[in-house]
Structure 1
């Protein structure tokens, strides 16, 4: 019976015949053996073996010495079925029952990647656990020479990439542990310029409720990339940063709670809510009432960045006890259409592999699985009434909680909740929660000014709060001054965090048809406290009915709001006004903006003359 051979390259080079460890000879002989093992059965030329041992300074007797080492190694292989065979001017290690920790690591990585593609992240993590536990130590420790040094770097990098893959799988399948955080911190320290481990560490910290630390990890990486390479972070790292800043609920998925064996487990696939949630007590009360029975529908609408998703998730978590069979969530922006939503939900409900290919078939299967279940369906970022109609057909008795940037007129039975901006005390509460009570109490007036500059726009307030937290040496007053300057200059360079707010507001702007977009730019150019439909018509040069139509379209996506005075409107925040002003300068041009302001000045002057009351003390003429 032949003995099994096993090699280990992580740590000192070692070799076992079955369970017995066998000495592998001098350091130079170890280098030659390592060269044959690491290529996993491929031939290695004599010239390459000479460079492995002596690099560019071989002795005259190098060839003879190589043959001596090979002869000694062949004797170590006796009785194992393995051999070192000569092929022209090359040698190859093959045959027998060979294994090596390096080969096992590569195989485990390949297997884990396959499991990840098959949506089995827990299996992928398990596939790498054992092999990484056995791959410790400095690779080829004690083996001398330039070749061995390059292999040490290469093998350590392969091990770190495998560890990164394992941690990626872990974060897709389970909450991060303290050990996961330590492993990620080590990877970031080892490879400070590598962005993927940094993004994973940010994600893990965020999921542990350490949002500020996650953002600090980004700041340090951003600074390092600028200082060392004069480059900005890549798209993936920047995307992770933006998602953490805005509290993207898809970053945290609450795993299904274990149920007793005798009862079916509820289908709970609901993201966690924001770490810092303030205000919205009135809206939460309306949602509790609106979703109190089967078949009920509630729709949350509001400006992008107003906190629609955060409110929906907070309400869904509070109402969990009313839906014992579970809660399903989907973001229609990422789901690949309604067919993708139904496919995802069918899998969540245990439909198995035979999911129909057509939307109609999926509707029928979903309706069948929903029968008798009390489920809450949370549909985020709906844009099309057809999407909602199809979901109602698939689950007529389910309770639906929908968020949408615009009013969906074909859902007449819906209870509508429109989100406005934060009250000042709510804005201050969010700044305090993020930046710290001591910081805000130290500059209460400056904190209030900063909140007012954000106009109650929740995402804007959150970004401003993180700017305060991330700049401990800056006064809040200085941060507020900087924001005020940015909001007054349409050509000011935007900070990364400002770009997050601009991107959210731009999503609402991009939903507009050309005429409402033109009207918004005109309003942004003059920045009125309020404006009537008739004034819009004169300002832009439109018939009155077209002005009404454009204002209705802007109102549908919350880029303007109506006032207490009939047919009068205002911008919802300074931030929207700034977005509209920048768009006006960029699209219409500086001259057009100046002309618009001159026209507005003339309109307001005429209005003021009309509204000037008669003097009661003027002398009468007869």
Structure 2
């Protein structure tokens, strides 16, 4: 039987005897395949690791040669070809890293069941599988993940020993570990706990203050609420200071993703691109934010993507909708899904977020956060360590979210719109209906539902009913699908000046609006008006449609139909037209005088 060792110097063994792998490039390719055992390793990833940004023209041929040599060594059935790369097939018993993961899962289960001593013993055995430092030539991202795994096992072993009452024996070990990993908060908490239990309170407090100075100086942030709470308990002189981070828990593997749409169409290239982002090697958790106007199918797209990559996250997939403002409810849902009893869930958002990060440490979980209102609602869900990934949808662009991969979904083109309607109804639609829906997936789905519900209608019959902009949104409603309600959810979240400009823009003819005209509609300066316009662009309710001498802003046809409905009185309608005419007259007069 083959045995693949990643925990220490990279080795290939057969029957206990080390087998020569070959050149450094061959070792790199095999190490990648072993790390991603039973998963597809993309060809592009291997080429990047071997040659970086400037691969030779013969890169694919050379890689094929390496794979051929490995197949001769391991057997052809061991490495198979996939459409985008290669797969190494191996069992858990053949992979030292998988044996450690199995030990970690078993230890967590034992500790959750109260078998703390046996869990600690299992974690010590897992640490014993490491055979020295990782090979320097090993792929850097893999080496980082291996080190992260070891730190997680070590943290949980020390937590278990603290639960068993071990204190004095841990102080020396923890002092050395903290010196080697000064930014790792959990080790600091463990050292503080061990010192406080031995009556060395001043030293425990010094550990906290040293860490706080380091965090503020190097990262510009304060220690977590959990560590601050431990510091407070030590200050109060609590005798049995409990560990700050451990919590016995079952190794729950939640599967919360909604079902993927059976008639999902389009965006195949974007799905492939983001799948590569989420399944690649990382040194920090990937964060992908998908934004776009209401009704654009952001949730459907993200759910489709999550299903496509879910095998990469074997410890679970979490899904929650914030509905614009329900961050705490989603945090509670996630920590409960990961096995925390309801009465142990913190009531403060920052503590609940810290607990979630603790629960995610050492795991590979995909978090899907739907309908976030702003970046502040997303940050509590972002893990601190690699292994997990976060997918977010929002009606805003969230450009202020640090380190995020920002993706703006586009409207469907005519061909994509026709394909979706065909899949829903079973018959190709007319061009008029496609045009009336304006490439908005929600409108297309409603149109398809209406045609299914009224088999005596043709697509031209429905297009005729949608031809009147005054009643178009009345027709675009079917059950819980409602274009007007979707737009209204975005409109209600706008500040008052933004609502005012949005509804007044709809009262003008469909020509793009420049900043100076927006200023007239708001009765304010042009600079302020353009800031409001750009905020509306960030909300995807307005778009920059004309970049001539000045930027001009327009609306999607269906958004404009909604905007017109928001005018509060006939007097407001008249005032908008009057202000627009006066502003245009001033610009025309100025232009004439300038000539």
Query: What is the TM-score with the length of structure 1 in the denominator?
Result: 0.50
Query: Structure 1 residues 589 and 315, CA, compared in 2 at 3 Å: closer, same or farther?
Result: same
| Equivalent residue in structure 1 for 2:535, among 531, 553, 567 | 553
Q: Are positions 1:592 and 2:575 aligned together? A: yes
| Equivalent residue in structure 2 for 1:463, among 443, 446, 468 | 446
Question: 2:332 is matched with which residue?
Answer: 343
Q: SS of 1:426's equivalent?
A: helix
8 A contact 1:522–1:584 mirrored in 2: yes
Q: Are positions 1:318 and 2:308 aligned together? A: yes
Give deviations 1:262-321, integer Å, cap 9, x for gaps: x96732211112232111223323322332345010001111111111111000000112
Q: Are positions 1:358 and 2:352 aligned together? A: no
Q: Are positions 1:333 and 2:333 aligned together? A: no
Query: Structure 1 residues 337 and 293, CA, compared in 2 at 3 Å: closer, same or farther?
Result: farther
Q: SS of 1:269's equivalent?
A: coil
Q: Are positions 1:387 and 2:377 aligned together? A: yes
Q: Are positions 1:290 and 2:277 aligned together? A: yes
Aligned mates of 2:333, 2:557 — CA distance in 1? 39
Question: 5+ residue gaps in structure 1?
Answer: 1-262, 615-622
Aligned mates of 2:554, 2:269 — CA distance in 1? 23
- Aligned counterparts, 1:165-176, within 5 A: none
8 A contact 2:399–2:406 mirrored in 1: no
Q: SS of 2:484's equivalent?
A: helix
Q: SS of 2:270's equivalent?
A: helix
- How far did 1:344 drift? 1.4
Q: Are positions 1:542 and 2:531 aligned together? A: no
Question: 1:575 is matched with which residue?
Answer: 558
Query: Structure 1 residues 504 and 587, CA, compared in 2 at 3 Å: closer, same or farther?
Result: farther
8 A contact 1:528–1:570 mirrored in 2: no
Give deviations 1:104-125, integer Å, cap 9, x for gaps: xxxxxxxxxxxxxxxxxxxxxx
- Aligned counterparts, 1:416-427, within 5 A: 416-427=406-417
| Equivalent residue in structure 1 for 2:362, among 364, 369, 372 | 372
- How far did 1:389 drift? 1.9
Query: Structure 1 residues 606 and 462, CA, compared in 2 at 3 Å: closer, same or farther?
Result: farther
8 A contact 2:543–2:555 mirrored in 1: yes
Question: 5+ residue gaps in structure 2?
Answer: 1-249
Query: Greater Rg, structure 1 or structure 2?
Result: 1
Q: Are positions 1:513 and 2:495 aligned together? A: yes
Query: Structure 1 residues 264 and 397, CA, compared in 2 at 3 Å: closer, same or farther?
Result: closer
Q: Are positions 1:479 and 2:462 aligned together? A: yes
Q: Are positions 1:531 and 2:513 aligned together? A: yes
Aligned mates of 1:476, 1:409 — CA distance in 2? 40
Aligned mates of 1:281, 1:520 — CA distance in 2? 33
Q: SS of 1:319's equivalent?
A: helix
- How far did 1:547 drift? 1.5
Aligned mates of 2:579, 2:271 — CA distance in 1? 42
Aligned mates of 1:404, 1:322 — CA distance in 2? 24
Q: SS of 2:547's equivalent?
A: coil
- How far did 1:542 drift? 2.8
Q: Are positions 1:404 and 2:394 aligned together? A: yes
Question: 1:275 is matched with which residue?
Answer: 262
8 A contact 1:505–1:579 mirrored in 2: yes
8 A contact 2:313–2:388 mirrored in 1: no
Aligned mates of 1:265, 1:322 — CA distance in 2? 17
Query: Structure 1 residues 372 and 307, CA, compared in 2 at 3 Å: closer, same or farther?
Result: same
Aligned mates of 2:337, 2:447 — CA distance in 1? 38
- Aligned counterparts, 1:134-213, within 5 A: none
Query: Structure 1 residues 326 and 598, CA, compared in 2 at 3 Å: closer, same or farther?
Result: same
8 A contact 1:526–1:600 mirrored in 2: no
Aligned mates of 2:329, 2:455 — CA distance in 1? 45
Query: Structure 1 residues 355 and 579, CA, compared in 2 at 3 Å: closer, same or farther?
Result: same
* Structure 1 vs Structure 2 CA RMSD: 3.2
Q: SS of 1:459's equivalent?
A: helix
- How far did 1:365 drift? 3.0
- Aligned counterparts, 1:20-169, within 5 A: none
Aligned mates of 1:276, 1:343 — CA distance in 2? 33
- How far did 1:601 drift? 7.1
Aligned mates of 2:592, 2:436 — CA distance in 1? 32
Aligned mates of 1:391, 1:589 — CA distance in 2? 43
| Equivalent residue in structure 2 for 1:497, among 448, 459, 478 | 478
Query: Structure 1 residues 473 and 599, CA, compared in 2 at 3 Å: closer, same or farther?
Result: farther
Question: 1:254 is matched with which residue?
Answer: none
Query: Structure 1 residues 610 and 477, CA, compared in 2 at 3 Å: closer, same or farther?
Result: farther
- Aligned counterparts, 1:198-277, within 5 A: 266-277=253-264
Query: Structure 1 residues 585 and 371, CA, compared in 2 at 3 Å: closer, same or farther?
Result: closer
| Equivalent residue in structure 2 for 1:305, among 282, 285, 295 | 295
Greater Cα offset, 462-471 or 392-401: 392-401
Aligned mates of 1:576, 1:608 — CA distance in 2? 32
How many residue pairs get matched?
340
8 A contact 1:535–1:603 mirrored in 2: no
